[in-house]
Structure 1
Amino acid sequence: MSDPADLTARDALEAIRRRTLSPVELARACIARTEAVNPAVNAIVAWSPETCLAEAERAEAAVMRGALGRLTGLPVAVKDMIDVADLPTTFGSEIYADNVAQGDDPIVREMRGAGAVILGKTNCPEWSAGANTRNRVYGATGNPYDPTRSSAGSSGGSAVALACGMAPLATGSDMGGSLRNPASFCGVVGMRPSPGVVPGETRGLATLWLSSSGPMARNVDDAALMLDVMARPDRGDPFSPARPDWGDLAHPGEVDPSTLRIAATEDFGFAPVEGIVRRAFRAALAKLSLGHAEETPDCSGADRIFSVLRAVSFLGGHLDYTRDYPDKVGPNVHENVAEGLGYSALDVARALTDQSAYYRRWQAFFDEYDLLLAPAITISPRDWHELYPTEIDGQRTESYFHWLACAYATTIAGHPCLSLPCGLDEAGMPFGLQLIGRRGDDRALLAAAASIETIIAGDPDLRTPPPDIAALATARPISEMPGFLDL
C-alpha cells in the first residue's frame, strides 16, 4: 500500500471497514507526515500526537466490535476558531494565546460522534480577519506549492494540512471566502453551504448569514461525506430548518453537465480580477467544454453591502477587544472596527435593504440557470509577507478585503458554493474554479461538482498535481524566515 496519509477519506474509510488498514496505522501515518512536513508550512499549530493515537486506538476497538460510524478512524484537522477539548483555542489572537478549551465545539462533537479522530488545530489569521494566514501567536502559514507564498485564508492552515496529507478532512469557515480562497490557493476543495445547513448556533449576529462553517477535503466526494456529518438542524441558528429536506448529502451522485444551464463570469461585473486568473479561468472553460452563457447576476452595490455588514459584524464582536487590548489586536480587526464606528444607522439600514434586493436578483438569475462558474479568488498566490494585496494589475484595492470580491459576491446572496481544483496557472500555482448553485440545493451543487471533477481527472492539463512532499520535508522551516511572527 502507498502511504496511508495520501489516501482520500473515502478510500481510507473503506480500507478501515475491510480491516486492511487500521485507524492506528492511519493516525501514525498522518502524525508522521505532519512531523515531516509541518515545519516547512506551519499548518498544524496545536496538537497532541499521544491523544490522537489514543483516539485512534478507541476507533480501532470500535471497528473490531463492528461498531462503525460514518467517519470511523478518519483524522480530522480543526481550524483554530472552534474548540477541541484540552487543546488551545486562540482565534489567532494574542488575547487568547493561553486559552485552553474545556470542551468540544458542536462541530467537533459531531465529528467525534461519527468516529473521527482529531489530529490537531490549524492556523488562521487573527479572528479570521483577512485572507492571509498570519498571526502573532503562531506566525505565518506557507503555501504547500511554495512556502514563500500565501496559503490565503482564513482557513489556510486547514487547506495546507489537507494538501500535504496531514489529514484527509479539515474544518473551515467562510465569510469573504475563507473556505474557498485557501482551497483555491492550495489545490483542495472547500465548500460554503447554504445558510443553516451547518448551523451557526454561536454566531454573534444570528440573523446575518455572512459567516458559515463548512467542509474541506481533497475531493468533492470527501467534502460531501464530511458535510453530511456537519449538517444538522439547530434552533440556535434562525436559518436552520426544523425539518431538513436536503437529502443524502453524503451520496449526491453525479449529473450530466450537458443537461445543466450553466452561466460563467470572470468577475461578476465588478471584481478586480488579475489577468493571470482571467486567463486560467478562460483556459479551464475552454478545456471543460461544458457549454455556457457569459452571464452574471446583477451584483450592483456588492462592495458597499459587504463592507458595511462585515464592519457591523466585527464591531459587534470585537469593539471591546480593540479598546481594552489595543496593542494585542492586529491591523485588520482595528480597521474593521473603526470602519464600523464610522457608519450610521442609515448606512446599515441601506446595506440591509440593498442586500435584500441583491438576494432577489440572484434568485431571478437562478430561475434561468442551474450553475454559475467563476474564479474562486482574484489573484494568484503572492509572497505571504504582503498582508493583503494593495493593487491588482495596477489597480489599487479599496480595503484589505476588496481582493476577495469573487467570494463575497456569493456570500451576500447566501448561495452554496465551492472551490474545485482545476490545474495550475501560468505561475505554476493552483487555480480554483468556483461553482455556485441554487440557494438550499447543496446536494445538486455537489453532484455538479463531482461531474466536473470527473472531467478534470481525465485531462492532464486540468488536473492539479500534489505538492512535492519530499521537497517540503527537507525545506527550510518557515519559522526561520524573516517576518514570520510580524504583521
Structure 2
Amino acid sequence: MSDILELGAVELRARLAAGQLSAEALMHATLERVEQANGVLNAVVSMKDSDTLMDEARAADAAPGGGALAGLPICVKDMANAKGFPTSMGSPAFADKIADKDDLFVSRMRKAGAIVIGKSNTPEFALGSHTFNTVHGATCNPYDVGVSCGGSSGGAAVALAARMVSIADGSDMMGSLRNPAGWNNVYGMRPSWGLVPAEPAADTFLHQISTDGPMARSPQDLALLLKVMAGPDTRQPHSMPVPDLDLAGIDPAEVKIGWLGDWDGAYAMDAGILELCQTACQTLADLGCRVEPVPAPYSREALWDSWTTLRSWTMASKLSALLENPKTRDQIKADAVWEIERGLAMKAVDVHKASVVRSGWFQAAAKLFDSYDALVLPTAQVWPFPMDWSWPTEVAGVKMDTYHRWMEAMVPASLAGLPALAMPAGFGSNGLPMGIQLIGRKGSDRRLLNIAALYHEATLWPQKTPPKLAGV
C-alpha cells in the first residue's frame, strides 16, 4: 500500500498545496487501494470509472489555488445525493435512481475541491447498525471480515480504516456516525443539530433527530471536513452559524469529564466493554483531565419511549408513500415497515408528549454541562457480531425487544440534538475495536474536538493499529 494513504487529510492537503504531492498521484494510489481491498470489504459502491477520476485529479492539479479539500478523494454515503451517482439508500425501490444534483453538504464538499469516487455502503434507509442490503450486499469489518462493521455509516468507516479515503461523510440518527467509528478504530462526529443543515426538502421545522457529519482517522481531519460541511442555509429555520472550529491546545486541568457507564445498570453491555471504555477514560485522567462517575441523570424508559415515538413518526413521514405504493411495498425491509406502521398509528398528542420528554432531557443535560465539559458513554453495547446476524436479539442475557434496542446508549445525544464525538477506545481480548463517545452541550463542537485531539495525540489508535487484511 502506498505510504501516502497512511496520511491524514490535513497532511495530504498541505503536501498538495506545497507541490510535494499531486492529486493525480493521490488518486492513482487511492484507486489501487480500492482495487486491492474493496473486493473483500465492499465499503465503496457505485464507483465512478477510473479514467474519469484520473481526469478529475489532473484537472485539480491544473487549477490554481483550490479549496480546503482540493484534490482529496472522498466517498459519499449512499443516503445523500451526489450528482451523476445512484442514490439507492440500500433499497431496491431506488436501486436505479441517478441523482441529478448534489445535496447541500455534498455540493459544499465539491466546491471545496473534493473528488467523489463513489458511494459508501449503508443499511437499507440507514435503519439498523449493521451495514447490509439487497442492492449492494454486506460490508465487512476490516479487523475481522466475519463480523459486522456497524452502521449505518459502515461503508464510510471501513473505507477510512482500510485507507481507501482519508475523510468521509456519514449521517447519524441513532449512532450511525458513532457505532461504526468505534467498531472500525476511527473517529466519527455527530455535530450539534443544525450545524450541518440537511437538504431543504419537505418539512424543515419538525424532524430534529438526524444529522450529517464527518468521519476521519483524527480529530484534526474531522474539523477540516466539518468546516466545509457546516454553515447556515437561509432556506432552513434551525441551521446554525459556523463556530470557530480551528483546534488549539487546551489545558487538561480545565477539562472535566463525567463517566455515565451503563446508565446505572440500565443498558445491558457485553463483557469487557465497560472495562475497556473506563481504561480510555483513565487515559484522559492520566493526561490531567478530571474524570468522575456520574449517576444516571434521567429516566432510561422515558428517553426510550420519547425516542422511539419521534423516530417512528419521522420514518413514517419519509417512507409511508413507499408502503402505500403497491409497486414498492414488498421491496421495503421489515424493520422499515415496522417503523412506518408505528408512526402512522400515532396521534398528534403522542408526538407532543414525546417532545415534552425530549425538552425535559435537554434541560436536565444543560444543567449537567454546567459541571462537565463532556459526558462519556460507550459507542456500542455489544462487540461486533457475526455477519449473518440481522441484529443481536440478546445482550448479556437481556432480550432485545426491537431491532435497535442494543444501541440504546446512543439515544441521550441523539434525542436532544447534542454533539457527540466517537473516539477509539482500543481493542478487547477478542481483538476487536470499541469506542467511547464524548457528548457535549449544544454548540460545544470545538470543545469536544479539542478534547479529542488531546486524547488522540496520547493514543494514536488508528495510526498504531491499522487493520491487517489477508492478501491485501
Structure 2-normalised TM-score? 0.94
Cα shift at 1:332: 1.3
After TM superposition, the structure 1 = structure 2 runs for residues 22-37 of structure 1, keeping only pairs within 5 Å, are: 22-37=22-37
* Distance in 1, Cα, partners of 2:338 & 2:429: 34
Matching residue's letter, 2:317: G
**1:68 Cα shift?**
2.6
Report SS of the residue matched to 2:207. coil
The residue aligned with 1:186 is 184
Per-residue CA deviations over 1:26-49 (Å, capped at 9, x if unaligned) read 011111100110011100111112
Letter in 1 for 2:388: H
Matches within 5 A, 1:109-148: 109-148=107-146
Select the residue among 426, 437, 442 that pairs with 1:434.
437
Q: 1:260 is matched with which residue?
A: 255
SS, match of residue 272 in structure 2: helix
SS in 2 for 1:56: helix
Question: Quick one: structure 1 residues 215 and 55, their matched pair in 2 at CA, closer, same or farther if it must change by over 3 Å?
Answer: same
Q: Which moved more, 1:205-214 or 1:336-345?
A: 336-345
Distance (whole Å) between structure 2 residues aligned to residue 437 and residue 413 of structure 1: 11
- Which residue of 1 is the match for residue 89 of structure 2? 91
Q: Is the aligned partner of 1:373 residue 2:369?
A: no
Change (3 A) 1:341 1:272: farther
- C-alpha deviation, 1:50, in angstroms: 2.5
Query: What's the RMSD between the two structures over aligned residues?
Result: 1.7
Corresponding residue for residue 306 of structure 1 = 307
Q: How far does residue 403 in structure 1 lie from its aligned partner after superposition?
A: 1.1
1:256–1:451 CA contact under 8 A, matched in 2: no
Offset at 1:377?
Answer: 1.3
Q: Residue 299 of structure 1 contacts residue 409 of structure 1 at CA under 8 Å; is this kept in 2? A: no
Distance 1:51 1:29 in 2: 15
Residue 413 of structure 2: aligned partner: 410
Counterpart of 2:210 in structure 1 is: 211
Q: CA deviation at 1:130?
A: 0.8
| AA at the equivalent of 2:420 | C
State the secondary structure of the residue aligned to 2:376: strand
8 Å contact kept, 2:148–2:384: yes
| Secondary structure of 1:440's aligned partner | coil
Q: 1:203 Cα deviation (Å)?
A: 6.0
Question: Does 2:395 correspond to 1:392?
Answer: yes
- Aligned partner of 2:331 in structure 1 is 328
Q: Distance in 2 between matches of 1:51 and 1:436?
A: 41
Amino acid in the other structure paired with 1:314: M
User: CA-to-partner distance for each residue in 1:314-353, whole Å, 9 max, x for gaps?
Assistant: 1111112123222100111011112223333332221111
Structure 1 distance, partners of 2:236, 2:294, is 33
Q: How far apart, in 1, do the equivalents of 2:352 and 2:26 lie?
A: 52
Q: Deviations over 1:80-138 (max 9, x none)?
A: 01111111110111011111111222212111111111121010011101111011100
Residue 169 of structure 1 aligns with which residue?
Answer: 167
Higher mean alpha-carbon deviation, 291-300 vs 68-77, is at 291-300
The match for 2:233 is 234
Q: In 1, are the aligned partners of 2:104 and 2:198 still within 8 Å (CA)? A: no
CA-to-aligned-CA distance 1:419-450 (integer Å, 9 cap, x gap) = 11121112111111111122112111111111
2:367 counterpart of 1:364: yes
User: 2-side partners of 1:425 and 1:202: how far apart?
Assistant: 42
CA contact (8 A) 1:199 1:232 kept: yes
Task: In structure 2, give the amino acid aligned to 1:26.
Answer: L
| Contact 1:74 1:115 (C-alpha < 8 Å) held by counterparts | yes
Amino acid at match of 2:450: A
How much has 1:162 moved relative to structure 2? Answer: 0.6
The runs of 5 or more residues in structure 2 that have no matched partner are none
| 1:364 to partner: Cα distance | 0.8
Tell me how far apart the structure 1 counterparts of residues 250 and 471 of structure 2 sit (CA, whole Å). 38
Match of 2:351 among 348, 363, 374: 348
1:320 counterpart letter in structure 2 = A
| Aligned residues of 1:201 and 1:237 also touching (Cα < 8 A) | no
- Per the alignment, residue 274 of structure 1 pairs with 270
- Residues 224 and 446 of structure 1 are in contact (CA less than 8 Å); yes or no, is this contact kept in structure 2? yes
Identity %: 36
> For 1:47, what is the secondary structure of its paired residue?
coil
Q: Which residue of 1 aligns with 2:221?
A: 222
Question: Contact 1:190–1:216 (CA<8 Å) still a contact in 2?
Answer: yes
Distance 2:307 2:391 in 1: 17
Contact preservation (8 Å) 2:227, 2:242? no
Measured after TM superposition, the shift of residue 237 of structure 1 is: 2.9
CA distance in 1: counterparts of 2:403 and 2:214, whole angstroms:
25
- In the aligned structure 2, how far is the partner of 1:232 from the partner of 1:192? 15
How many equivalent pairs are there?
A: 462
Aligned letter for 2:34? T
| DSSP-derived class of the 1:213 partner | strand
Superposition deviation, residue 463 in structure 1: 7.4
Q: Is the 8 A contact 2:259 2:377 kept in 1?
A: yes
